């Protein structure tokens, strides 16, 4: 069984529609994929409609942004009851365009881009993020590709950066659990996003009901993957693996990180919704 529990569609900053993502998952030889768009579950129905034709099972999820020391930490939610997580996701989607406008205001002092340019890249203001600012900067000729934009103007330490300013990681884990969801700390040791959580702080997430740490992820070194496994063992939580696929927007390929079938089974028993098969 090939199970990839983290992928994005055009409903956030991926480049495949939810149906295209399901087809790409079939092509990649996946048995199960999780759709985890940033702060939204609006791709669920379209992806669900492609389960039969592709033969790929679907874990309905979202990647929820939390605020951490001037940056963000991402918490994956799987199989939650949508109405019960909706207020938190809506709150983040309200903050995204405000934050993006503030960043674009600063960027436009030094780069030839406008809010309209960024909005055109995003399509939808409620899921707008730095990847769309990167696309606008690339379209304006300021950088050759997304990566170059992220390495310079869009990095957290750049003077253009503005926090999305949302709830703390503990509050997000609590909200996911209260909504019947399964909470997994996404890429816990990814360096560029924010000050990393300490082992003790990850322990507090476990106390709040965290189910697992995402260990096998492209942005973790082999040593960090080992560290995630060791810490998960100490805390009594599971580990997952995933690709964090974004279509052509990032080099991540579907299936490059995988989750074991027994962990998926535990996710399904803990979650409110079933896996769609
Ligand atoms: P935001 O939530 O708006 O702060 O943007 C974070 C998003 O940017 C996440 O989806 C990341 O996967 C994406 N991201 C971070 N670094 C890069 C990069 N070098 N190239 C493309 N996307 C990136
Ligand atoms: Zn993303
Ligand atoms: Fe993430
Ligand atoms: Fe992601």
Ligand 1 pocket check: which of 15, 130, 164 to mutate, most ligand atoms within 8 Å of Cβ? 130
pLDDT at position 70, please?
84
pLDDT at position 165, please?
66
pLDDT at position 84, please?
98
Domains of the chain: residue spans and CATH: 3-91+164-270 (3.20.20.140)
pLDDT at position 191, please?
76
Binning pLDDT at 50, 70 and 90, where does residue 71 land?
confident
Q: How do residues 224-249 score in pLDDT, each as one tens digit?
A: 999 999 999 999 999 999 999 999 98
Q: Is the pLDDT of residue 49 over 90?
A: yes
Ligand 1 centre to CA of 147 (Å) is: 9
Cβ count within 10 A of residue 187: 24
* Pair 213, 232: CB distance under 8 Å: yes
How large is the angle between the packed helices 82-107 and 169-178, nearest 10 degrees?
150
Q: Give me the percent of the chain exceeding a pLDDT of 70.
A: 99
Ligand 3 centre to CA of 24 (Å) is: 20
Ligand 4 centre to CA of 133 (Å) is: 17
Instruction: Please give the model's pTM, rounded to 2 decimal places.
Output: 0.94
For the record, the structure tokens of 15 come out as 């480049």
Torsion angle of C-alpha atoms 153, 154, 156, 159, degrees rounded to 10: 40
pLDDT at position 184, please?
99
Q: Is the pLDDT of residue 193 over 70?
A: no
More confident residue, 60 or 157: 60
Please name the residue ranges forming H helices in 43-151: 44-48, 51-54, 82-107, 115-122, 130-139, 146-151
pLDDT at position 95, please?
94
Alpha-carbon distances of 103 from 83, 118, 123, 134, rounded to whole Å:
31, 11, 17, 12
Nearest atom, ligand 1, residue 100 CA:
3
**Mean pLDDT along residues 105-126:** 95
**Mean pLDDT along residues 174-195:** 91
Using CB atoms within 10 A of its CB, is residue 260 exposed (0-12), middle (13-18) or buried (19+)? middle
Calpha distance 264→57 (Å, rounded): 11
Calpha distance 131→147 (Å, rounded): 9
pLDDT at position 82, please?
98
**Mean pLDDT along residues 53-63:** 98
Ligand 4 centre to CA of 159 (Å) is: 24
pLDDT at position 41, please?
97
User: CB within 6 Å of ligand 1 — which residues?
Assistant: 13, 129-131, 146-147, 150, 249-250
């Amino acid at each position: 069984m090939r199970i990839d529990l983290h992928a994005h569609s055009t409903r956030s900053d991926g480049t495949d529609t939810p149906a295209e993502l399901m087809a790409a998952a079939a092509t990649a030889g996946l048995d199960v994929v999780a759709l985890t768009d940033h702060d939204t579950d609006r791709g669920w129905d379209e992806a669900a409609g492609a389960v039969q034709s592709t033969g790929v099972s679907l874990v309905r999820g979202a990647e929820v942004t939390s605020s951490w020391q001037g940056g963000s930490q991402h918490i994956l939610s799987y199989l939650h009851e949508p109405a019960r997580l909706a207020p938190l996701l809506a709150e983040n989607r309200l903050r995204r365009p405000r934050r993006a406008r503030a960043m674009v205001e600063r960027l436009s002092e030094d780069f030839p881009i406008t809010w309209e340019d960024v909005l055109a890249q995003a399509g939808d203001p409620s899921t707008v993020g730095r990847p769309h600012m990167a696309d606008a900067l690339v379209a304006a000729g300021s950088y050759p590709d997304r990566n170059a934009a992220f390495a310079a103007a869009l990095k957290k330490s750049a003077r253009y950066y503005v926090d999305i300013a949302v709830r703390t990681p503990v509050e997000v884990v609590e909200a996911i659990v209260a909504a019947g969801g399964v909470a997994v700390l996404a890429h816990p040791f990814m360096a560029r996003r924010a000050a990393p959580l300490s082992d003790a702080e990850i322990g507090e997430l476990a106390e709040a009901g965290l189910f697992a740490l995402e260990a096998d992820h492209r942005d973790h070194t082999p040593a960090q993957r080992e560290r995630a496994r060791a810490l998960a063992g100490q805390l009594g939580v599971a580990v997952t693996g995933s690709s964090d696929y974004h279509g052509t927007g990032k080099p991540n390929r579907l299936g490059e990180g995988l989750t074991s079938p027994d962990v998926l089974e535990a996710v399904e028993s803990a979650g409110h919704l079933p896996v769609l098969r």
